[in-house]
């Protein structure tokens, strides 16, 4: 699958920097948007609902964030999903594997395509984008 628009939803600025560098280093042509919490990402998503070309193809979603965490984001996303006119792939990226064994994961398994543990690496980025 070809991803053109990427949302990185994570409160960790270092993670943002790492993703930017990995994309550059691996010559991956994608339009990334960075958000520090789920609420900002959801607001942007809702604002773009009618312009499918600007919607993300892929969301890299952290779980542990202020304001609106990853689980809350997924809850809201599952509500607006029926209004989204394009397929959006969601990968959960977390610094703790504990989240990958939770009941929440079971609840949202229809929304989550893949899980990765931070820090992201060149190999993971290549696997995602090629």
**pLDDT, tens digit, 9 for 90 and up, residues 39-70:** 999 999 999 887 767 899 999 999 999 999 99
Query: The domain containing residue 33 runs over which residues?
Result: 5-129
| Residue 98: Cβ within 10 Å count | 10
Q: For 65-113, how does the pLDDT look when each residue is reduced to its tens digit (9 = 90+)?
A: 999 999 999 999 999 988 888 899 999 998 877 766 678 888 898 999 9
Rounded average pLDDT over 15-33: 96
CATH number at residue 12: 3.40.50.2300
Whether pLDDT at 6 is above 70: yes
Picking from 59, 72, 82, 76, the residue whose alpha carbon sits closest to that of residue 104 is 72
- pTM of the prediction? 0.93
Q: Per the structure, how many domains does the chain have?
A: 1
8-to-5, 36, 103 alpha-carbon distances in Å: 10, 8, 24
């Amino acid at each position: 699958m070809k991803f053109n628009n990427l949302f990185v939803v994570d409160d960790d600025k270092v993670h943002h920097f790492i993703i930017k560098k990995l994309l550059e280093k691996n010559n991956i042509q994608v339009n990334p948007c960075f958000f520090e919490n789920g609420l900002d990402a959801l607001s942007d998503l809702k604002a773009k609902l009618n312009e499918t070309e600007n919607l993300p193809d892929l969301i890299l979603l952290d779980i542990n964030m202020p304001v609106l965490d990853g689980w809350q984001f997924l809850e809201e996303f599952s509500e607006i999903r029926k209004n989204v006119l394009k397929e959006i792939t969601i990968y959960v990226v977390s610094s703790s594997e504990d989240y990958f064994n939770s009941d929440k994961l079971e609840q949202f398994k229809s929304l989550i395509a893949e899980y990765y543990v931070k820090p992201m690496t060149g190999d993971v980025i290549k696997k995602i984008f090629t």
